[in-house]
C-alpha cells in the first residue's frame, strides 16, 4: 500500500462517516491534497487502515480483491447483484490546500448499462455527501458514461454514473470543488443496483493526487535575451519545461532558461510538467508573459586624424540585429561634412575637431541603438612651393609672348607677369644700333614688341601667382635676352 502524507500529517480515520481521530471537523488543515492509495499493502479482502465501507439491500461491502488489479496484488471491488442494493467505499478524512487540488484513479466498471452504476461523492467538513459534480467539482478525463434509470428502484436513479462496460481500466481525473479548498474532505465511491440483472461489478485502484504545479514570478525577457522561469510541485515528480509558443520564445527543458525570439505582449507561454511517480499523478501548469524588444549597439571604428587637404574619409560601423543601416551625420559641419550612402563619406573642410554621430533605428523586435560619436583631428598642412612653367627667354624682332592668356604655374594657379619698371616703352642704344621695346597687353597676357636692332638687349620680367591652403604664393623674375 502507498499512502503519501497521511502518517506524516497525523490524519485520523473515518468509519461509517464518523470521524474517529485526528483532525476535528471544521479544523484548518495543513496544506495537503488527496492522499494516494493503491490497496496493495493489505491482504485481501481487508481494506487499508482509515478506509471503511457500508452496504445495504442486496449489495455487499467493498473489499480488496486480487482479481485484475491495476497494480498488483489488489484493487477495491464491489459486485453488481440482480437486486436493489447500495454500497459505499469511504476514504479517510483528507486536508486540502488553499489552492484546491485534483486527483485521478483507475476505474474499471462492468454493470447493467443504464440501470446499475457507480458515482463519486464528497463530504466537505463533515457535511452531507453530494455528487462530486453537484458539489462543484468536475471530471477532466474519464467522466460519467450515462444516466441511471428511475424505473427499477435503483437508489441513484436519475443520476449520471459510470454505467455499462468500460472495457477494462480507464483513468478518471477529478478536479475538486472550489468549496473544498482549505477544508477537510472525505470521498466515497458509491455502487448502486436496481431490482434485476446482475453483472461483473466495479473496481477502483491506484488513487493518486495530481501534482499541483506552481510558477514563481514571471521573468523579464527580451529578444535575444534570457530569463529563467521557476516552477515547483507539491508532489515528487521532476519538473520539465517546454514552450508552446516557439515562434516567440524557446526554453531549456531542464533549467527553465527562456530565450526571447519575437517581441510581443503576452506572446510567450511556458509549460511546466511534473512527471508521474508512484505517489502522484503527473501535473502541469503554464505561465504566459511578454517578450520585450531587444537592445542594439553600434560598433563605430575610430577614424584616424587627417590633414585638411586629404581625400574624403569613409566612416566604418556595424549595428545591431535589426539590420537597419548605421547612418552618419556631422556634429561639426564647419570642420567636416557628410555625404554619400548613409552619410559615410566625410569631407574635410577646415582645421579643427571633426565629430561624427552614428545612429541606427529600431524595429518591432529591437529598440533604436544608443547614438555613438567619434571625434578626430583635422590638421593643417605645410604649404608647398609653386614652380614656373618653362619659357623661351630669347627675344626676337617682332612680337614676343612672355605670358600667354590663361597662363598658370605648374600647380595650376593663375600666373601674372610684369616688365621691370613702369614705362610702357624703353629705348636701348648699343653702339651704332638703336632698338625699342614696347609692352603690350595686361599682366595676364603680356607681349614684348621689339623693333630695331637690339643686340645684347636684356629685359627682366617678374612672374607672380597667388597662394591657397596648399601652396605658397609664387614670385620669380626671369631675364629675356635679344640674340
pLDDT value of residue 453: 64
Q: For residue range 418-462, list pLDDT tens digits in order.
A: 887 433 344 554 443 456 677 766 766 777 787 776 667 788 889
pLDDT value of residue 458: 82
The CATH number of whichever domain residue 188 belongs to comes to 2.60.120.260
Q: For residue range 189-199, list pLDDT tens digits in order.
A: 999 999 999 99
Cis upstream peptide for 45 (omega within 30°): yes
pLDDT value of residue 309: 86
Across 452-477, b (16+ Cβ under 10 Å) vs e yields bebeebebebebbbeeeeebeebeee
Q: How many other C-beta atoms are found inside a 10 Å radius of the C-beta of residue 1?
A: 14
- Whether the CB-CB separation of 11 and 36 falls below 8 Å is answered with no
Q: For residue range 243-261, list pLDDT tens digits in order.
A: 999 999 999 999 999 999 9
Q: For residue range 371-420, list pLDDT tens digits in order.
A: 999 999 999 887 889 999 998 888 888 888 888 888 999 999 999 998 87
Residues 134 and 19 in one domain: yes
Q: Rounded to an integer, what distance in angstroms lies between the CA atom of residue 241 and that of residue 236?
A: 16
Residues 201 and 222 in one domain: no
Does 387 fall in a domain? no
Q: How many other C-beta atoms are found inside a 10 Å radius of the C-beta of residue 94?
A: 27
Which range marks the domain in which residue 320 is found?
Answer: 299-379
Residues 221 and 272 in one domain: yes
Residues 193 and 226 in one domain: no
Domain boundary among 159, 187, 210: 210
Residues 145 and 242 in one domain: no
Q: For residue range 324-338, list pLDDT tens digits in order.
A: 999 999 999 999 999
Does 385 fall in a domain? no
Residues 411 and 456 in one domain: yes
Residues 367 and 355 in one domain: yes
Domain boundary among 261, 292, 323: 292
Domain boundary among 210, 244, 260: 210
C-alpha cell at 459: 629685359
Does 1 fall in a domain? no
Does 245 fall in a domain? yes
Indicate the Cα dihedral angle 134, 138, 142, 144, nearest 10°. Answer: 20
Q: For residue range 137-163, list pLDDT tens digits in order.
A: 999 999 999 999 999 999 999 999 999
Residues 84 and 138 in one domain: yes
pLDDT value of residue 403: 86
- Whether the CB-CB separation of 374 and 424 falls below 8 Å is answered with no
Q: For residue range 264-283, list pLDDT tens digits in order.
A: 999 999 999 999 998 999 99
Residues 288 and 305 in one domain: no
Please give the mean pLDDT across all residues of the chain. Answer: 89
pLDDT over 70 for what percent of the chain? 88
Q: How many other C-beta atoms are found inside a 10 Å radius of the C-beta of residue 308?
A: 17
Does 133 fall in a domain? yes
Residues 116 and 243 in one domain: no
pLDDT value of residue 454: 66
Count the domains in the chain: 4
Residues 179 and 273 in one domain: no
Q: Rounded to an integer, what distance in angstroms lies between the CA atom of residue 119 and that of residue 116?
A: 10
Q: How many other C-beta atoms are found inside a 10 Å radius of the C-beta of residue 229?
A: 24
β 18-19/14-15 pair status: antiparallel
Does 464 fall in a domain? yes
Look up the pTM and report it: 0.68
pLDDT value of residue 32: 56
Residues 369 and 411 in one domain: no
pLDDT value of residue 99: 86
Amino acid at each position: 500500500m502507498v499512502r503519501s502524507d497521511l502518517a506524516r500529517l497525523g490524519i485520523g480515520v473515518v468509519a461509517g462517516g464518523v470521524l474517529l481521530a485526528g483532525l476535528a471537523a471544521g479544523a484548518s488543515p495543513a496544506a495537503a491534497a488527496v492522499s494516494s492509495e493503491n490497496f496493495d499493502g493489505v491482504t485481501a479482502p481487508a481494506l487499508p487502515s482509515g478506509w471503511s465501507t457500508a452496504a445495504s439491500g442486496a449489495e455487499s461491502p467493498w473489499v480488496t480483491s486480487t482479481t485484475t488489479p491495476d497494480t498488483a496484488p489488489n484493487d477495491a471491488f464491489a459486485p453488481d447483484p440482480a437486486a436493489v442494493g447500495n454500497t459505499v467505499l469511504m476514504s479517510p478524512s483528507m486536508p486540502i490546500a488553499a489552492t484546491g487540488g485534483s486527483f485521478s484513479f483507475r476505474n474499471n466498471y462492468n454493470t447493467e448499462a443504464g440501470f446499475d452504476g457507480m458515482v463519486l461523492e464528497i463530504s466537505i467538513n463533515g457535511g452531507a455527501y453530494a455528487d462530486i459534480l453537484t458539489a462543484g467539482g468536475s471530471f477532466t478525463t474519464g467522466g460519467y458514461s450515462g444516466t441511471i434509470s428511475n424505473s427499477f428502484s435503483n437508489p441513484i436513479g436519475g443520476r449520471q454514473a459510470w454505467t455499462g462496460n468500460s472495457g477494462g481500466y480507464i483513468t478518471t481525473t477529478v478536479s475538486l470543488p472550489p468549496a473544498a479548498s482549505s477544508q477537510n474532505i472525505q470521498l466515497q465511491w458509491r455502487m448502486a443496483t436496481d431490482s434485476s440483472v446482475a453483472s461483473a461489478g466495479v473496481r477502483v485502484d491506484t488513487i493518486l493526487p495530481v501534482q499541483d504545479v506552481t510558477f514563481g514570478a514571471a521573468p523579464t525577457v527580451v529578444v535575444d535575451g534570457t530569463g529563467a522561469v521557476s516552477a515547483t510541485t507539491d508532489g515528487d515528480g521532476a519538473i520539465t519545461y517546454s514552450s508552446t509558443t516557439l515562434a516567440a520564445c524557446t526554453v531549456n527543458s531542464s533549467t527553465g532558461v527562456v530565450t526571447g525570439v519575437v517581441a510581443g505582449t503576452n506572446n510567450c507561454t511556458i509549460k511546466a510538467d511534473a512527471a508521474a511517480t508512484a505517489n502522484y499523478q503527473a501535473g502541469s501548469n503554464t505561465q504566459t508573459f511578454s517578450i520585450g524588444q531587444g537592445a542594439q549597439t553600434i560598433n563605430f571604428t575610430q577614424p584616424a586624424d587627417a590633414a585638411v587637404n586629404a581625400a574624403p574619409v569613409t566612416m566604418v560601423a556595424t549595428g545591431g540585429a535589426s539590420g537597419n543601416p548605421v547612418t552618419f551625420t556631422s556634429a561639426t559641419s564647419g570642420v567636416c561634412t557628410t555625404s554619400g550612402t548613409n552619410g559615410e563619406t566625410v569631407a574635410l573642410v577646415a582645421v579643427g575637431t571633426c565629430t561624427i554621430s552614428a545612429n541606427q533605428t529600431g524595429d518591432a523586435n529591437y529598440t533604436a541603438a544608443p547614438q555613438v560619436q567619434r571625434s578626430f583631428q583635422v590638421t593643417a598642412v605645410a604649404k608647398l612651393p609653386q614652380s614656373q612653367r618653362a619659357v623661351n627667354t630669347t627675344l626676337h624682332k617682332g612680337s614676343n609672348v612672355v605670358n600667354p592668356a590663361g597662363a598658370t604655374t605648374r600647380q595650376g594657379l593663375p600666373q601674372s607677369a610684369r616688365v621691370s619698371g613702369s614705362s610702357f616703352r624703353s629705348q636701348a642704344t648699343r653702339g651704332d644700333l638703336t632698338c625699342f621695346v614696347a609692352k603690350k597687353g595686361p599682366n595676364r597676357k603680356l607681349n614684348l614688341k621689339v623693333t630695331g636692332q637690339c643686340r645684347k638687349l636684356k629685359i627682366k620680367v617678374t612672374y607672380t601667382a597667388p597662394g591657397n591652403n596648399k601652396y605658397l604664393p609664387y614670385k620669380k623674375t626671369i631675364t629675356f635676352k635679344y640674340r
